[in-house]
Amino acid sequence: MLETPPGLRVLHERLRARVASLGVGGVWWPADTDFEMIAGAILTQNTAWRNVEKALARMRSRSLLEPGALLATADAVLIDAIRPAGFHTAKSRYLRAAARWWVEEGSCPGYAQKLDDAQLRTRLLRIPGFGPETADVIMLYIFDRPMFIWDAYARRLLASVGYDVPGSYEAARRALSYLVDEAGLTVAELAELHGLIVDSGKAGSRPVTVPPRPHS
DNA sequence: TGCCAGGGATTAG
DNA sequence: CTAATCCATGGC
The mean pLDDT of A174-196, rounded to a whole number, is 94
Confidence of residue A1 (pLDDT cuts 50, 70, 90): low
Which residue is nearest nucleotide C9, judged by alpha carbon to C1' distance?
A86
- pTM of the prediction? 0.91
The mean pLDDT of A206-210, rounded to a whole number, is 45
pLDDT of residue A113: 94
CA to C1' distance (Å), from A36 to C3: 34
Nucleotide nearest to A91 in CA–C1' terms: C7
* Nucleic strand C within 7 A of Cβ A47: yes
The mean pLDDT of A148-162, rounded to a whole number, is 93
Count Cβ atoms within 10 A of the Cβ of residue A211 and give its class: 0-12 exposed, 13-18 middle, 19 or more buried: middle
**pLDDT per position as a tens digit, A3-32:** 789 999 999 999 988 876 655 455 678 789
Q: Are A24 and A132 in contact (CB under 8 A)?
A: no
Nearest in space to A182 (alpha carbons), one of A21, A41, A7, A46: A7
CA to C1' distance (Å), from A91 to C7: 9
pLDDT of residue A36: 96
Is the pLDDT at A210 greater than 80? The verdict is: no
pLDDT of residue A216: 23
Question: Is the alpha carbon torsion for A191, A143, A103, A47 positive or negative?
Answer: positive
Q: Are A48 and A85 in contact (CB under 8 A)?
A: no
Confidence of residue A199 (pLDDT cuts 50, 70, 90): confident
Q: Which residue has the higher pLDDT, A30 or A69?
A: A69
pLDDT of residue A215: 29
d(CA A77, CA A62): 9
* Nucleic strand C within 7 A of Cβ A7: no
Q: Which nucleotides of C are covered by protein (CB under 7 A)?
A: 1-3, 7-11
Lowest mean pLDDT, pick from A138-147, A156-165, A177-186, A196-205: A196-205
Nucleotide nearest to A166 in CA–C1' terms: C2
Which residue is nearest nucleotide C2, judged by alpha carbon to C1' distance?
A168
The mean pLDDT of A42-67, rounded to a whole number, is 95
Nearest in space to A157 (alpha carbons), one of A29, A33, A11: A11
Lowest mean pLDDT, pick from A10-19, A77-86, A169-178, A197-206: A197-206
The mean pLDDT of A163-171, rounded to a whole number, is 92
Q: Are A148 and A8 in contact (CB under 8 A)?
A: yes
* Nucleic strand C within 7 A of Cβ A21: no
pLDDT of residue A211: 33
- Strand C-proximal residues of A, range 51-70, CB below 7 A, are 51
Is the pLDDT at A116 greater than 70? The verdict is: yes
Q: DSSP state, A173?
A: H
pLDDT of residue A103: 97
